[in-house]
């Protein structure tokens, strides 16, 4: 922050947060910040979570909910690169969502993987590194699973355990992140189901974990949550 943020505006100790009387604290660093300090922040202000993958940890989610209701502050979660989050939420609330699958593909250099996924290697031009419940992916790809985590929050009837995340290493995507969202409703009386498939191509610098359009989407989330009422709970914005 030196040279960019005036010293008087820098906060080096989170324990001194109350002295600043903030209305909103914005996290855009890493889910570990939310794990360790999210509940503490909610004592003093509303919280906008940029690292949606943090909420895949059930203990963290519960701590945030309890702190939110105790102190009367809201937890906002940025939707990031998730296209159509409102439509997913409406369909889910109406009982019309049976399955939801989010595929995120980019060049291997764009991944920041941990644990068993850190040893995963591309075996060809396009390799599926993970396919399964979003909850199982977030701890090992915390910076590459935020879109999937946002989808799990948009569809609480499925949640982190039933929304499926797919992480794909694609050698051809050197300057792009591609997110496909596939959702399906229950079969109708004719046996046919309501189906939606969105395809989002987001330009990105080589090796970057975030595409250029996602930054704009996050900024809109920030502006949006500032206009929403401060009510306890976790709210996608």
Q: Residue 197 and residue 181: Cα distance in Å, rounded?
A: 6
pLDDT tens readout for residues 13-23? 888 898 999 99
Residue 200 confidence (pLDDT) above 90: yes
Q: How many CB atoms lie within 10 A of CB 121?
A: 8
Of 165, 166, 174, 205, give the one whose Cα is nearest residue 107.
Answer: 174
pLDDT at res. 119 = 87
Superfamily of segment(s) 85-211: Dihydrodipicolinate Reductase; domain 2 (3.30.360.10)
Predicted model pTM: 0.93
Question: DSSP alpha helices (H): ranges in 94-199?
Answer: 134-137, 146-154, 159-162
Of 79, 81, 12, give the one whose Cα is nearest residue 52.
Answer: 79
CA dihedral sign of residues 80, 86, 88, 93: positive
Question: DSSP alpha helices (H): ranges in the chain?
Answer: 31-41, 58-71, 85-93, 134-137, 146-154, 159-162, 212-226
pLDDT at res. 64 = 98
Mean pLDDT of the chain: 94
Residues 6+ apart with CB under 8 A from 146: 50, 51, 52, 53, 80, 81
In this prediction, residues 204-208 reach a mean pLDDT of: 92
Tell me where in the chain the CATH 3.40.50.720 domain(s) lie: 7-80+217-236
| CB-count burial class (<10 Å; 0-12, 13-18, 19+) for 234 | middle
Q: What is the CATH number of domain 7-80+217-236?
A: 3.40.50.720
pLDDT at res. 165 = 98
Tell me where in the chain the CATH 3.30.360.10 domain(s) lie: 85-211
pLDDT at res. 26 = 95
């Amino acid at each position: 922050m030196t040279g960019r943020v005036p010293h008087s505006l820098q906060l080096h100790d989170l324990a001194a947060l109350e002295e600043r009387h903030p209305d909103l604290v914005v996290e855009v660093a890493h889910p570990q910040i939310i794990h360790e300090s999210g509940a503490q922040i909610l004592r003093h202000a509303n919280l906008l979570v940029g690292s949606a993958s943090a909420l895949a940890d059930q203990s963290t989610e519960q701590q945030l909910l309890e702190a939110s209701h105790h102190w009367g502050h809201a937890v906002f979660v940025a939707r990031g690169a998730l296209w159509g989050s409102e439509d997913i939420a409406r369909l889910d609330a109406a009982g019309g969502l049976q399955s939801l699958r989010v595929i995120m593909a980019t060049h291997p250099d764009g991944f920041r993987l941990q644990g068993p996924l850190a040893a995963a290697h591309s075996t060809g031009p396009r390799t599926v590194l993970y396919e399964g419940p979003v909850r199982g992916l977030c701890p090992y790809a915390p910076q590459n699973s935020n879109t999937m985590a946002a989808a799990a929050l948009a569809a609480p009837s499925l949640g982190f355990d039933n929304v499926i995340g797919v992480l794909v290493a694609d050698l051809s995507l050197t300057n792009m992140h591609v997110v496909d969202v596939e959702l399906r409703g229950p079969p109708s009386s004719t046996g046919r189901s309501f189906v939606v498939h969105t395809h989002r191509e987001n330009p990105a610098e080589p090796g970057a974990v975030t595409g250029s359009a996602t930054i704009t989407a996050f900024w809109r989330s920030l502006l949006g949550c500032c206009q929403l009422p401060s009510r306890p709970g976790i709210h996608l914005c």
